[in-house]
Amino acid sequence: MQPAVDITELYAAHRLSLVRLAVLLVDDIASAEDVVQDAFAALARRPGAIKDPSKALAYLRVSVVNASRSALRRRRTARAYSPPHALPPPTPEDTAVLAEEHREVFVALHALAPRQREVLVLRYWSNLSEAEIAAALGISQGTVKSTASRALAALEKIMTTTSGKEQR
C-alpha cells in the first residue's frame, strides 16, 4: 500500500516554513535546519502519519518545537549548566539585518523561558489557536493562555527596561 502523501512533497512544501519556525526558537539557521531534518526523519519513521497531510504537518510542527527545545537544552548543558534564563541573545550577525525595532523585540524574546517563547512564536508567527498550541505543546489551553499572558508582560517589561537603560 502506497502512502497517500509523499514525504518528499511534504519536504518541498514545508521545509522552508518549518526552518523559519525553528530559527525563531533556536536562534541560528544551522541548528534550525538540523531540527527540521530530524523532524522529517521522525515522520518517516511513522508511515501511518504521512497518510493525512494535515496530521503530517501537525506532527512535523510538534517535532520541530520539541527538537528545538532539546537543542537548546543540549546547548545549555554544553555551556556549563547556565540557568535557563541565561541563554545569550542572538548574535549580532543573526539580527544585524533586522530593523532596530524588530531587533529589540527579538533580543527580549530570547530572554524569556523556552516555553514562553514557544507559545508566543506559535501564537504570533504560526497563528495557531490556543487549542492547537495546547495540543502541540502537550499542555492545557488554560496554561497556554496564562503562559502567553505572562510572556507578553515579561516581554514588555524587558523591552521597557532595556529601552530605559539605553536612554540613560
Partner 1 sequence: MSTDIEARLRDALAARADLVRHEDLTPLATVVPLRPRWQSPWVLLATAAAVLLVLGIVVQGVGGRERSDRIAPQPDGPTLEMPADVGRDWKADDLSRPARVDLDGDGVREKVQFLSEKTDDYAGRVRLQTTLSSTGEESWGIAELTSTIGVTARGAIDADGDGDEELVLPWEDLAAVGGAGHPLVFDLRDGLLVEMLAADPDLLQSGDVAVPGSQTEFYDLVHEQDWWIKGGQVWSSRSVNAFARGNMTLLRPESIVLDTWRWELGDDGVLRPTDQGCAEDSTVEGRHDCDGDQADSLPAVQPAATDTIGIGGEVALDDGGLGYRARVEDDGSGGTLVVDGPGADGLVYALSAPDPRVSTVSPTYLVGFDAASVYVASAADPAVAEVVAQTADLAGLVALRPVGDVPLGTGSDSDGRAYRTWLTKAGAVVTVVEAEDGSWDSWQWARVGGTDIAALPTGRVCFADVTDPSSVARC
Given the rule CB under 8 A, which residues bind partner 1?
A: 2-3, 6-8, 11, 15-16, 19-21, 23-24, 29, 32-33, 37-38, 40-42, 44-47, 66, 73-74, 77, 81, 83-84, 95, 97-99, 101-103, 105-106, 109, 113-116, 120-121, 124-125, 129-132, 138-147, 150, 152, 155-156, 159
- The smaller minimum CB distance to partner 1, of residues 39 and 167, is found at 39
Cα(61)–Cα(144) distance, integer angstroms: 16
- The smaller minimum CB distance to partner 1, of residues 127 and 165, is found at 127
CB of 30 to partner 1, least distance (A): 8
CB 137 within 8 A of CB 65: yes
Give the CA angle between residues 101, 148, 75 to the nearest 5°. 75
Backbone angles phi, psi at 75, to 5 degrees: -65, -40
Q: At what angle do helices 53-78 and 130-137 cross, to 10 degrees?
A: 60
CB of 79 to partner 1, least distance (A): 12
CB of 167 to partner 1, least distance (A): 18
Rounded alpha-carbon distances, angstroms, from residue 21 to 3, 5, 30, 60: 26, 22, 13, 11
CB of 88 to partner 1, least distance (A): 16
